[in-house]
Every structure is written in structure tokens, then in C-alpha cells.
Structure 1
């Protein structure tokens, strides 16, 4: 087709801007801050969810640094939720069990 000619439907060809919509805004962003204090790792997790609700979630995490750590403590202040997770227990090669 020559430049400026009409397509078969009688309309001018659409520009690339009209054909595609590129959204460069991520739908999730995770920020994690960690500090080791006297044999424990204390952390703050911030999770931001852009679509569809624009929510965020904050978590405080405490776990021992020992190689045989058996638990992890998580507190979500916005939901007033406290969780104590056990160490992952291997059941099969591809399946682990964790108590909450």
C-alpha cells in the first residue's frame, strides 16, 4: 500500500499507538528489610499490590538464625493476625509439610 492510501475497509491504517497498549506499572512490589540481632533475624516485609485494588500489606517476621531452626513468627499488624510456622518437614521428594 502506498503511504496515505486507504485500507480495504475504507479506513486509514491505525498507528502503533492505537494498536497496542503497554503498561509498565508492575502489579506487585515486594520490599524486605532484614536485621540480625543476637541469633535472630528480624524483618519487615512490605507488599504493594497495584491492580485491581491498590492495597498494601506489612508483616513483621522473627526467626532464629540456627541451621536447625524449627519455627518462624509472623505478625500482620493491619489484620491483627499472628502466625507461628513450623519448619518444613519433607514428606516426599516434591512434597513438604508445614504446620501453621
Structure 2
């Protein structure tokens, strides 16, 4: 067996922990997390906008493909005037038109 040297080849646990603490202190970690969150939100928003634009384009092409010109006869039917109503619908009710029996006590 080879004798162990006094100089370790790998860093000690304390050195690793000290390096991690130095690298990931809470203030720095919070700042990094905020930056990551903002980048993620921006990318997500860009993807959603792109997807929405794509869906809108597909819907528009489907709508235009399925639309048919309105025939003149159908156009006349859809552009009619306001329907007339019977005048009796707006007359006040009288006892002769609709008698209401008295409620028993």
C-alpha cells in the first residue's frame, strides 16, 4: 500500500460547504431566482402569443373556407323590418279581461 500524503487531492467537506455558502447566499439566490422567473415568464408569454396567433390564423382560414355567399333571397329575408306586435299585449289588464278570484282567508 502506498503511504498517504498530508496534502489531500480532493477538497475537504468544509471547503465544499464554504464554496457553496459563498456561491449561494440567500440574497444572491433570491436575485437569481427572480431573474430566472422573469425569463421564464417572458418565454412563456412569447410562446402563448405565438400559439394564439397560430390558432387565430387557422380559425380565420377555416371560417373563410366555409363561408358561402349569401343569396339575394336570403339577404332579403334577413334584412326585414321589426316585427309588429299585437296591441292587446300591451293593454292593461282589466277585471273583465282576466278576472282574479279572491283568495280565501
Instruction: Establish whether TM, by shorter chain, passes 0.5.
Output: no
Question: Which has more strand, going by share of residues?
Answer: 1
With normalisation by structure 1, the TM-score equals 0.25
With normalisation by structure 2, the TM-score equals 0.24
Bigger RCO (CA 8 Å, 6+ sep): 1
Whose Rg is larger?
Answer: 2
